[in-house]
Structure 1
């Protein structure tokens, strides 16, 4: 039988020094950290902003459009110092997207919501950088950057502008595509399923299927002839 050391005293968790409770918090995942700070008044007042900043940096690391570079970090800091309340409509700019936020926790969840949503918006067409490649031959394109043409959608989103072609009428349709995407080659399908609630109609071409790449949070729009991918600031 082990006799407890009489000199040992149990310390209630909430009586731990703040640096210890913060040390524990630093090992938690985002939603666990939220729950952790909801368990007591004492924990709710912990300054976990440095922890949330590190979580932002880790989460956004593989997403070029959102990655927390030193330049973006400095812009956010400067923006906070200047209390800049101006809205920035450029959603390809992380700082603009976060222009009215003041905490790293808020930033984490704003970016998480934007980077993981699966509904393409007309603003995405208008404001993101888009690149197109032809894949008719089966040997061109499919991710080869040298084969990509820079294209853009008009500010109204009604036309796609492709070098060497007349403006192509475009419509983002919020309903299931008239056909399944089973005929699209596997190499063109990205790493998430095609949307079943929207597709992109361009001129009289076959329907363009929409998906989003979980690997870098960019959009992928494809049919059997072309693929278009969004690109963020690297």
Structure 2
């Protein structure tokens, strides 16, 4: 038997880490295990793990953050490529794209949500409502993004979810930029949207999503 070449071993470990992301065990926005933990998980050395992680950084699936760790930013290479593209887009353009995505997702979720989705949406809506947008802005934004992602999950469309995940880092950036200028958290609109989804009212769910996104877009000058 021929010994496993180093390049083959790196490829195997890269695929092992990629599988953790694709399966959802390492979700979008989460920090992956530390390098020592990865060496134990994969049964390989630090250099092999380091190169495998770097391969996924280059693919746009992972992002190193100085002093914090390495985070999942996309569930696939395609998502990573889209994420890089969206990162340079104008805020109004992103909001107009989000209008199309969120209103459709809300309608699909109203039609397809199951009991697990309903429980998740109720919990996340409560968590979003409880956040203090003035004093804990970061936690509030995370709760907001998590709720909107859960609505896309409730659409039960895997392609939709992967595309939305590629947009999430840019969505978070737009929300951060906006909340630095305004303290309106649109609580009532989010309650209306989630309850419409839970009750299975597609038109009402889409209308609620459109309502607050229209308001957000109106804060930006029209594109010319």
TM-score by length of structure 1 reads 0.29
Which structure has the highest strand share of the two? Answer: 1
Which structure has the highest helix share of the two? Answer: 2
Which has the higher relative contact order, 1 or 2, with Cα contacts under 8 A spaced 6 or more apart? Answer: 2
